[in-house]
C-alpha cells in the first residue's frame, strides 16, 4: 500500500473532536509544476495568451522611443531658425558690390547711410521659395546689426521680430507637423494594438481559469467517492468544503491574473532596461541606482509574508470546519448550553485567521507605497541628471521625456512582480491543499472484479473475519464467523462499541478486511466490485439524510422507473402518506427550511425510500430509534412485510424490537459471544439475557 500523503489531524471520536496537528512543508516550485501540468490541456491557449501579453508589452516599450522622436521634432521647431539667415547672406553675396558689400556695418555707420542706399547695391533673391526684395534685405541688415550690437540674447530675440515679413517667413519657428502626425499615428497604432492584445490575453486566461476551476471541483467531487471511509474519520466536512471553494477560487484568481502579470512585468522590466541602455547609459545608471533599493525591500517583504499567506489558508480551512460542525450540531450545542464555549472556540479560530490575514495583507499593502516612493525618486533623479546633460548638449530634451516613462516602466514591474509572487505563493498554499486531497490514498482499484452478481438469493457468510481500522493498529473485530441464510432476519446486538455497525460497514465493503472473508451466495465480496455489492443492499440508518428537493425526489433517490403507486404504497406502509397529502404541493413539495419535518417523519421517509429501492438484502441500523412506540409498531409491521424473502440485518439497542428475529448474534469486544433465537438465548441466561433484562430494570 502506498504511503499516505494526506496529513491533517489524528482520528477523532465524534464530530470535530480533533484539529490539524502539523503543517506540511511548503513547496512553491513543486506545487506550481503540478498546477501547470494540471492545466496541460489548456497549454496552447495559455501560450497564446502569454504571447499576446508579451507582444503588447513590447509595443508599450516602443512607445517612449517614438515619443522621444516626437518631442525632438517639437523642440527642434520651437527656437527661431537663425541658420536660414546664413543662407540669405550667402545668396545676397552675389548681389552686393562696392563699398556697401565690404564695409563693416554697425548701427552708427548705418545711421550715416540713407534709407534705400543699401538696397541699390542689392538684387532681389529667392531662398527656399521665398522672394526677398532688395529693400527687405536692407531692412534685415539694419535689424541684425542692431541685434549684434545689443549683446543681450533676449533683446536679440525681440529684434528678430522686427525682421521684414519675407525674412520672418524663413526664420520664424516652424514645427514639422507632418513628422509629428506620422509619429503620433504610429504611437496610436502601438497602443491600440497593445490594448487589443491585452484584452485577448484577459479573455483567454479568464476562460482557462474558469475551466480549470470547474475541472478542480469536478475532480474533487469524483475523488470524494474514491476515498476510503477512514479518511472521513480524520477530516472535517468543512475542511473539504474549504478546498472545493476557497482554495480552488484562490488558484483560479492566481491563474487569471498572476501568470500574465508576471510575464508582462518581467518583459517590461528587462525590456525597459534594454531600451534605456540603448538610449543613454548615464541616464540608465541613474534610473537603476534610484530603483535598486526597491529590489531589496521587496525581497525582504516577500520572504516574511510567505508564511502568513500559508497560515491564512490553513486557518481558513480550520474555521470552516468548525462552523460546519457547530451549525450541523446546533441543537446539541443549545441543549448543553455550550454557546459560550463554542463562541470562545470560534473567537480563537477567527482571531488566528484575522491575525494571519492581517499580517499577510499588511505586508502586501506595503508594496504599493514603497514602490510609489521608489518611482518618484527615480523621476527626480532622471530629471536632475537629464537636465544637467541637456544643458551640456550631451542629450536631447526628448531623451529626458523618454526616460521619465522608462523609469515608470522599470519601477512599476517591481511592485507587480512582488504582488504576483505573493499571489503565486498564496495559490501554491491553496494548490498544495487541493493536490494533497486529490493525491490522497484511494480505495484499491477493482479491475477484473465481478461487476454483475446476477440474481442474488441472499445467503451471507462471515468466515473468520478480522478487522482493524486503517489508521490504527488496534483490532476491533477479532474472529467473527456467522451464516445468514436467504430470507432470514438476522439481528446484531451488543453494548456500545461492541462492533455492530462495524460489521455492517464491512458487509457493505466500506472497509477492507484484515483477514477472513465475507461471502454473498458463496462469492467473496473482495472479488466483487464495491458498486455491485452496494446494489444488493438498501440501508436505513439512525442518522437520516435528506437533500433539498421534492418529497418524491427524496423517496425515489437513484432508483429508476418508480411508479406513483409504488411511492404511495410505501408511504402508506410507514404511515407517512396522510402527512404528505397535507403538504402544500403533496409529493411535489420541496423539502427546504420552509417545510419542517420532525425527526420521526424524516426516519419514516428514509424507511419508505428503502422500501421503494426493493433490494435483495436490507440493513437497518437503529431504523426506528427516532419514532414513537405507536409509529414504531406500525412501521415494524410494514418492515416485516418488506423483509419477507429478504436477508435482513438489524442493529438494535432496544432488544424488544428483534424478538422475532430468526438469528440473533450477540457481540462484545469484537467477537460473537452468543447466537441463537430470542427464546434460546434467554434460556441460556447468559450475556444476552443480562442485556435484555437490564433494559426492563432501567425502564422500571
Nearest to 605 by CA among 635, 628, 582: 635
Cβ–Cβ under 8 Å, residues 451 and 432: no
Q: Which residue has the higher pLDDT, 6 or 334?
A: 334
Q: How far is 85 from 553, CA to CA, in rounded Å?
A: 98
Nearest to 520 by CA among 486, 489, 491: 486
pLDDT of residue 9: 36
Same domain, 127 and 216: no
Same domain, 110 and 190: no
Pick the range with the lowest mean pLDDT from 25-29, 375-379, 605-609. Answer: 25-29
Q: How far is 344 from 679, CA to CA, in rounded Å?
A: 53
Same domain, 481 and 417: no
Average pLDDT for residues 644-671, to the nearest whole number? Answer: 83
Cβ–Cβ under 8 Å, residues 664 and 677: yes
Last residue of a domain, one of 171, 202, 225: 171
Pick the range with the lowest mean pLDDT from 13-17, 241-245, 374-378, 632-636. Answer: 13-17
Q: Kindly state whether residue 4 falls inside one of the protein's structural domains.
A: no
pLDDT of residue 170: 73
Average pLDDT for residues 685-694, to the nearest whole number? Answer: 86
Of 401-415, 581-595, 622-636, give the range with the top mean pLDDT: 581-595
pLDDT of residue 78: 63
Q: How far is 617 from 98, CA to CA, in rounded Å?
A: 135
Last residue of a domain, one of 171, 202, 223: 171
pLDDT of residue 148: 63
Same domain, 410 and 465: no
pLDDT of residue 96: 44
Of 4-8, 193-197, 367-371, 655-659, give the range with the top mean pLDDT: 193-197
C-alpha cell at 222: 469524483
Cβ–Cβ under 8 Å, residues 85 and 212: no
pLDDT of residue 254: 83
Cβ–Cβ under 8 Å, residues 277 and 61: no
Cβ–Cβ under 8 Å, residues 499 and 666: no
- Beta-bridged to residue 676, according to DSSP, are 664
Q: Residue 275 phi/psi, 5° resolution? A: -65, -40
pLDDT in tens, 447-503: 878 888 888 888 899 898 888 877 677 888 888 888 988 888 898 888 887 788 888
- Beta-bridged to residue 132, according to DSSP, are 125
The pLDDT of residue 119 is above 60: yes
pLDDT of residue 478: 85
The boundaries of the domain holding residue 202 are 28-74+179-438
Q: Kindly state whether residue 144 falls inside one of the protein's structural domains.
A: yes
pLDDT in tens, 142-182: 777 776 665 555 565 666 667 777 777 777 767 778 888 88
Residue 229 pLDDT level (bands cut at 50, 70, 90): confident
3-state secondary structure 500-534: HHHHHHHHCCCCCCCEEEEEECCEEHHHECHHHHH
Angle between helices 177-226 and 28-38 (to 10 degrees): 90
Same domain, 67 and 209: yes
Query: Average per-residue pLDDT in the chain?
Result: 79
Which residue is it, cell 553675396?
A: 93
Q: Kindly state whether residue 444 falls inside one of the protein's structural domains.
A: no
pLDDT in tens, 239-291: 788 888 888 888 888 888 777 788 888 888 888 888 888 888 888 888 887 77
Same domain, 61 and 89: no
Q: Kindly state whether residue 517 falls inside one of the protein's structural domains.
A: yes
Average pLDDT for residues 203-217, to the nearest whole number? Answer: 89
Last residue of a domain, one of 147, 171, 195: 171
Same domain, 49 and 87: no
Q: How far is 455 from 71, CA to CA, in rounded Å?
A: 90
Q: Kindly state whether residue 631 falls inside one of the protein's structural domains.
A: yes
Same domain, 228 and 306: yes
Q: Kindly state whether residue 454 falls inside one of the protein's structural domains.
A: no
pLDDT of residue 552: 92
Same domain, 623 and 561: yes
Cβ–Cβ under 8 Å, residues 386 and 210: no
pLDDT in tens, 387-413: 888 788 788 877 888 887 888 788 777
Q: In total, how many domains does the chain have?
A: 3
Q: How far is 248 from 217, CA to CA, in rounded Å?
A: 7
Q: Kindly state whether residue 5 falls inside one of the protein's structural domains.
A: no
CATH of the domain at 497: 3.40.50.300
pLDDT of residue 19: 35
Q: What is the CA radius of gyration of the chain?
A: 45
Q: Kindly state whether residue 628 falls inside one of the protein's structural domains.
A: yes
Same domain, 49 and 151: no
pLDDT of residue 38: 86
pLDDT of residue 209: 87
Same domain, 144 and 119: yes
Same domain, 518 and 589: yes
pLDDT in tens, 533-585: 888 888 888 777 888 888 999 899 888 888 999 999 888 888 888 889 988 88
CATH of the domain at 248: 1.20.1560.10
Cβ–Cβ under 8 Å, residues 49 and 208: yes
Amino acid at each position: 500500500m502506498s504511503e499516505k500523503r494526506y496529513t491533517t489531524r489524528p482520528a477523532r471520536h465524534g464530530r470535530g473532536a480533533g484539529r490539524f496537528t502539523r503543517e506540511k512543508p511548503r513547496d512553491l516550485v513543486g506545487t506550481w509544476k503540478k498546477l501547470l501540468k494540471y492545466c496541460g490541456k489548456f497549454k496552447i491557449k495559455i501560450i497564446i495568451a502569454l504571447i499576446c501579453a508579451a507582444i503588447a508589452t513590447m509595443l508599450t516599450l516602443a512607445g517612449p522611443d517614438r515619443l522621444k522622436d516626437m518631442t525632438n521634432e517639437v523642440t527642434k521647431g520651437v527656437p527661431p531658425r537663425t541658420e536660414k539667415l546664413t543662407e540669405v547672406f550667402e545668396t545676397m553675396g552675389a548681389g552686393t558690390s562696392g563699398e556697401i558689400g565690404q564695409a563693416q556695418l554697425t548701427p552708427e555707420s548705418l545711421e550715416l547711410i540713407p534709407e534705400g542706399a543699401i538696397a541699390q547695391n542689392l538684387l532681389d533673391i529667392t531662398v527656399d521659395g521665398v522672394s526677398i526684395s532688395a529693400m527687405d534685405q536692407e531692412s534685415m541688415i539694419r535689424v541684425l546689426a542692431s541685434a549684434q550690437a545689443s549683446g543681450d540674447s533676449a533683446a536679440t530675440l525681440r529684434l528678430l521680430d522686427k525682421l521684414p515679413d519675407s525674412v520672418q517667413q524663413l526664420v520664424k519657428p516652424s514645427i514639422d507637423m507632418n513628422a509629428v502626425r506620422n509619429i503620433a499615428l504610429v504611437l496610436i497604432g502601438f497602443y491600440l494594438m497593445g490594448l487589443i492584445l491585452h484584452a485577448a490575453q484577459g479573455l483567454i486566461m479568464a476562460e482557462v481559469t474558469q475551466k480549470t476551476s470547474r475541472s478542480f471541483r469536478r475532480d474533487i467531487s469524483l475523488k470524494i467517492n474514491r476515498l476510503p471511509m477512514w479518511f472521513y474519520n480524520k477530516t472535517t466536512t468543512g475542511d473539504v468544503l474549504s478546498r472545493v471553494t476557497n482554495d480552488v477560487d484562490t488558484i483560479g484568481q492566481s491563474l487569471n491574473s498572476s501568470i500574465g502579470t508576471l510575464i508582462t512585468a518581467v518583459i517590461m522590466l528587462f525590456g525597459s532596461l534594454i531600451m534605456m541602455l540603448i538610449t543613454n547609459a548615464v541616464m540608465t545608471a541613474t534610473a537603476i541606482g534610484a530603483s535598486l533599493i526597491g529590489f531589496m525591500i521587496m525581497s525582504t517583504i516577500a520572504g516574511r509574508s510567505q508564511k502568513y499567506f500559508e497560515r491564512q489558508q490553513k486557518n481558513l480551512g480550520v474555521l470552516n470546519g468548525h462552523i460546519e460542525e457547530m451549525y450541523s450540531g446546533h441543537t446539541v450545542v443549545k441543549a448543553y448550553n455550550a454557546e459560550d464555549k463554542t463562541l470562545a472556540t470560534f473567537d480563537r479560530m477567527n482571531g488566528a485567521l484575522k491575525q494571519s490575514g492581517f499580517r499577510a495583507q499588511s505586508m502586501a499593502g506595503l508594496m504599493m507605497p514603497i514602490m510609489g516612493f521608489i518611482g518618484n525618486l527615480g523621476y527626480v533623479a532622471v530629471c536632475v541628471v537629464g537636465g544637467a546633460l541637456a544643458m551640456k548638449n550631451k542629450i536631447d530634451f526628448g531623451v529626458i521625456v523618454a526616460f521619465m516613462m522608462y523609469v515608470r516602466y522599470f519601477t512599476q514591474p517591481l511592485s507587480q512582480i512582488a504582488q504576483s509572487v505573493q499571489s503565486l505563493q498564496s495559490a501554491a498554499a491553496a494548490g498544495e491543499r487541493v493536490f494533497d486531497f486529490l493525491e490522497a490514498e484511494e480505495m484499491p482499484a477493482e479491475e477484473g472484479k465481478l461487476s454483475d452478481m446476477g440474481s442474488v438469493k441472499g445467503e451471507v457468510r462471515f468466515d473468520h473475519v478480522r478487522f482493524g481500522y486503517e489508521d490504527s493498529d488496534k483490532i476491533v473485530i477479532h474472529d467473527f464467523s456467522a451464516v445468514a441464510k436467504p430470507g432470514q432476519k438476522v439481528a446484531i446486538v451488543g453494548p456500545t462499541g461492541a462492533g455492530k455497525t462495524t460489521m455492517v460497514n464491512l458487509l457493505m465493503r466500506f472497509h477492507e478486511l484484515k483477514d477472513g472473508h465475507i461471502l454473498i451466495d458463496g462469492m467473496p465480496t473482495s472479488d466483487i466490485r464495491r458498486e455491485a455489492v452496494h446494489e444488493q443492499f438498501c440501508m436505513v440508518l439512525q442518522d437520516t439524510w435528506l437533500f433539498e428537493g421534492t418529497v418524491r425526489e427524496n423517496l425515489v433517490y437513484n432508483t429508476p422507473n418508480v411508479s406513483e403507486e409504488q411511492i404511495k404504497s410505501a408511504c402508506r406502509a410507514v404511515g407517512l402518506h396522510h402527512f404528505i397529502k397535507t403538504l402544500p404541493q403533496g409529493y411535489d413539495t420541496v423539502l427546504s427550511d420552509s417545510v419542517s419535518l420532525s425527526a420521526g417523519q424524516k426516519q419514516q421517509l428514509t424507511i419508505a425510500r428503502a422500501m421503494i429501492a426493493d433490494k435483495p438484502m436490507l440493513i437497518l441500523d437503529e431504523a426506528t430509534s427516532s419514532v414513537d412506540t405507536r409509529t414504531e409498531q406500525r412501521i415494524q409491521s410494514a418492515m416485516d412485510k418488506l423483509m419477507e424473502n429478504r436477508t435482513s440485518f438489524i442493529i438494535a439497542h432496544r432488544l424488544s424490537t428483534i424478538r422475532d428475529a430468526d438469528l440473533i448474534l450477540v457481540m462484545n469486544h469484537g467477537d460473537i459471544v452468543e447466537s441463537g433465537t430470542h427464546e434460546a438465548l434467554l434460556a441460556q441466561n447468559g450475556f444476552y439475557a443480562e442485556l435484555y433484562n437490564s433494559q426492563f430494570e432501567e425502564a422500571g
